[in-house]
Amino acid sequence: GKLKLYSELKVVDGLSGLTMLNPGVGLFVPEKIVFRTDHSTMNDKVKLLSGGCSGHDPLFTGYIGYGMLTAAVYGDEKGGPTTKQILFALRELNTPRGIIIIIKNNMDERLNFGLAMERARSEGILVDMVAVGDDCWESQENSVGRRCLTGLIAVIKVAGAMSEARKSMRDIYIMCRAMIISSLSSVFLKDSCIRLGTDIYGIGGCNKGKMDVHELIVDMVKYMTDAKRYFSLSVFPLNKFIVLVNSYNVDSLLLGYVAKELLHQLQKVNVCVERMYCATFISGPRPGFCISLVKDIDEELIRWMDNAVPTKYWPENALLQPVIRFISLESSHSLEVECEKTYVKGPRSSTMFYDYCLECASIACRAIISSEFMLNNMDPMGNYGSLIASGAKELLKVVEDNQLNRCKPYFFVTKIGNVLEESIVGATGTMYGLFFAGIGQYFLNYTEIVEVDIDLWGAAIKKGINTLAAMTNIKPDECTLIDALIPLYNGLVYKPKKHFVERIREGAEGAESGAQATAYMKSSKHLPDLPESGAQTVATIARAIFETVKRLYENEQKLLRDTTRVTCPIGIVELAPSEEPLLVAEEEREEVIVLGEEGEGEYYGDLYGFESDEEESEKEESDEGEEEEKLEEIVEEEEAKIEEAREGEETKEEEAIAEVKEEGEAKEEEEGEPAVAPAEPAGEEIVENVADIDAASDAKEEVEEREDMAVDE
């Protein structure tokens, strides 16, 4: 049968263990009363007693000690302590300063504690009682008034602090009765439904259906501060409040979210939150939380709330300022990958990758989205296909928005990894993020000089597989996506001399065979005779990429061999079958070659009318050689003419000098006197000879200038 944890025997054993762990408290076993071990020395202070049902720890044992309760009386799971137990505790706590009983406002506890109080009074014990009712939900099935929620802890904290300050019983009683507290509780039911206005057991209230926690907090604050409701608090600007947020189970994230949203909602109405305490003050059988607003009616109230206590169940951290302070840390790092980061290099894209990458990514995403139903049927949990499809849809949006960098493969794969990691919930998204992060890290080993080819892609995929295996400790033949990635890599690198399309085909077929092999592995990760869903996803992506690359490559080849094209030095002009060829030519060329059906398939290169690179280079070299030979011939001819002119001038000078000498000798013989050669005729002839020489030198300079111009051209 079901174990009764809070039966009488179990409660006694539990309390015994708690007292063993806490040397400051003791236990009266028969009556299930927990006392402070130093309570006998507190005769100069007012003592505090509480108690109730078991099963709401840390209430009450967690609040016994300095600055809190003096003792607590436990009942069982279904009811509170008996009058006999309570009276025994009052007799033990008897002090001249008096005893104050602080209990929850319900019929059972009011009757038992009230009867014990009256009997104790008849014995001369000074005692009084405060029943805390702070629930502001109006439709309560409680005949004694408002139910008690987390406000009980606030009253115990204030009363304990005043007792340690040796305040009188009258002052403590008045303060506890004067505290204005408004609390509202809610619990979470199955199917994300919420019940509002419950007690600590999760009973009562109304079902609000499916609701977000944000909407729930907004409704709770409106209800608690609605002036039209009888038990709600009237909130005015600059009112001061102390807030307690209680979680019925230990959930720090829920407490933090509720605290942040609650502060935001209270700031909208200009309410000053002086203190906020968030913890599991009172536990409950159902998950949920409770909000308590304590109005600051006295300056001393903050002092009593701030009084330090040694118990670990009272939170030390409290909001000391009415505003939320955000600390922003400036960092040069970002999760977004941007092309402007100069320190990230990596190889550049090849022409094939630049033209094919976006189409391949788009087709792969569409293939996964269309395979969602199939992948769900392969998954034992039945949701793998939906997870992968959600990531594929987000990535398809990124592709369509042209957010992928085609110039740098590093940025391309890193962006894909980030999108999949954020959009795929759980470990699956992280695994894809690790795989693409490994590929990107391998690309960073190269610079922009390197162009990505199929060999580099194969090595990068190997790095991605190793990164994924190292971080997840996944090995081959364990029925995971690794069993499809390894054959994919082997197909890409097995025959490096093959054409890249054939190598991609080998990789796709390898991924498909690896995925199919997982169907025969003994594992709980797949259904019998069906491939593992992760491996099948890899095979689907590989097949989609191969079919896309094959189609795009064949289209390019078809365009290059299209017979309905006209070639010219400027480019290729598309022709409709019924139209005449469009003649486009330059001045150097007069004819345009038109391809027809007769010449189809005979040539590949020069049939289009373009000269090959080798022919063009040979032609350029021959033209340069002919120009140099012509220039050399011109220079030689000019030099020969200059030499001939010089030789002719020298012979003329010699003949003129000889004639002058002969004439002088003849005159001497006739007259018998030395003859002097006339200078004028010889001078004129010499001048004429010099003019001829200058003309020759000018001609030589002209030749040299022409030669320089020819070389420059």
Instruction: Tell me, letter by letter, the H, E, C secondary structure of 671-702.
Output: HCCCCCCCHHHHHHHHHHHHHHHHHHHHHHHH
Residues linked to residue 291 through DSSP beta bridges, in sequence order: 184, 245
Residues 6+ apart with CB under 8 A from 203: none
Could you tell me the pLDDT band of residue 65, with boundaries at 50, 70 and 90? Answer: very high
**If you search the block for the tokens 């009237």, which residue do you land on?**
234
pLDDT in tens, 505-535: 999 999 999 999 988 888 777 788 889 998 9
Q: What is the pLDDT of residue 568?
A: 47
My answer on whether omega of the bond before 60 falls inside 30° of 0, hence cis, is yes
Could you tell me the pLDDT band of residue 538, with boundaries at 50, 70 and 90? Answer: very high
Residues linked to residue 130 through DSSP beta bridges, in sequence order: 102
State mean pLDDT over 89-100. 95
Tokens for 35, please give them. 């006392």
Could you tell me the pLDDT band of residue 388, with boundaries at 50, 70 and 90? Answer: very high
In terms of pLDDT, which residue wins out, 281 or 144? Answer: 281
Q: Which domains does the chain have, with CATH numbers?
A: 11-132 (3.40.50.10440), 183-306 (3.30.1180.20), 351-555 (1.25.40.340)
State mean pLDDT over 493-497. 80
pLDDT in tens, 616-671: 455 555 666 676 777 777 777 777 777 777 777 777 767 777 777 777 677 666 65
Nearest to 411 by CA among 446, 374, 378, 437: 437
Nearest to 69 by CA among 24, 35, 38: 35
Could you tell me the pLDDT band of residue 700, with boundaries at 50, 70 and 90? Answer: low
* CB 113 within 8 Å of CB 100: no
Give percent of the chain with pLDDT exceeding 90.
32
Nearest to 290 by CA among 151, 190, 131, 132: 151
* CB 32 within 8 Å of CB 85: yes
Tokens for 25, please give them. 């408290």
Tokens for 545, please give them. 């990429």
Does position 692 have pLDDT exceeding 60, yes or no? no
State mean pLDDT over 538-560. 90
CA distances from 369 to 164, 433, 514, 658 (A): 68, 19, 21, 114
Could you tell me the pLDDT band of residue 331, with boundaries at 50, 70 and 90? Answer: very low
**Pairing verdict, β 206-210 and 240-247:** unpaired
* CB 243 within 8 Å of CB 262: yes
Q: What is the pLDDT of residue 159?
A: 96
Q: What is the pLDDT of residue 170?
A: 95
DSSP states along 510-558: HHHHHHHHGGGS--TTS-TTS--HHHHHHHHHHHHHHHHHHHHHHHHHH
State mean pLDDT over 216-230. 88
In terms of pLDDT, which residue wins out, 6 or 436? Answer: 436
Helix/strand/coil for 187: strand
Residues 6+ apart with CB under 8 A from 446: 345, 346, 347, 456
In terms of pLDDT, which residue wins out, 648 or 210? Answer: 210
80: alpha, beta or left? (left if phi > 0; alpha if psi -120 to 50): beta
Could you tell me the pLDDT band of residue 487, with boundaries at 50, 70 and 90? Answer: very high
Nearest to 238 by CA among 263, 270, 274: 270
Q: What is the pLDDT of residue 713?
A: 58
Q: What is the rounded average pLDDT for all residues in the chain?
A: 80
Q: Which of 220-224, 456-460, 646-650, 678-682 has the lowest mean pLDDT?
A: 678-682
Q: What is the pLDDT of residue 672?
A: 53
Give percent of the chain with pLDDT exceeding 70.
79
Q: What is the pLDDT of residue 670?
A: 61
Does position 503 have pLDDT exceeding 50, yes or no? yes
Residues 6+ apart with CB under 8 A from 268: none
State mean pLDDT over 292-307. 87
CA distances from 635 to 632, 691, 707, 709 (A): 5, 22, 8, 13
pLDDT in tens, 361-381: 999 999 999 999 999 998 888
In terms of pLDDT, which residue wins out, 584 or 700? Answer: 700
pLDDT in tens, 338-356: 444 444 568 888 877 878 8
- Using N-to-C axis directions, what is the helix angle for 454-472 and 482-493, rounded to 10°? 160
Does position 682 have pLDDT exceeding 70, yes or no? no
Alpha-carbon Rg of the chain, whole angstroms? Answer: 51
Could you tell me the pLDDT band of residue 268, with boundaries at 50, 70 and 90? Answer: confident
Does position 614 have pLDDT exceeding 60, yes or no? no
Question: Can you tell me the distance from the alpha carbon of 604 to that of 617, in angstroms, rounded to the nearest whole number?
Answer: 20
pLDDT in tens, 561-602: 766 655 444 444 444 444 444 444 444 333 433 334 343 333
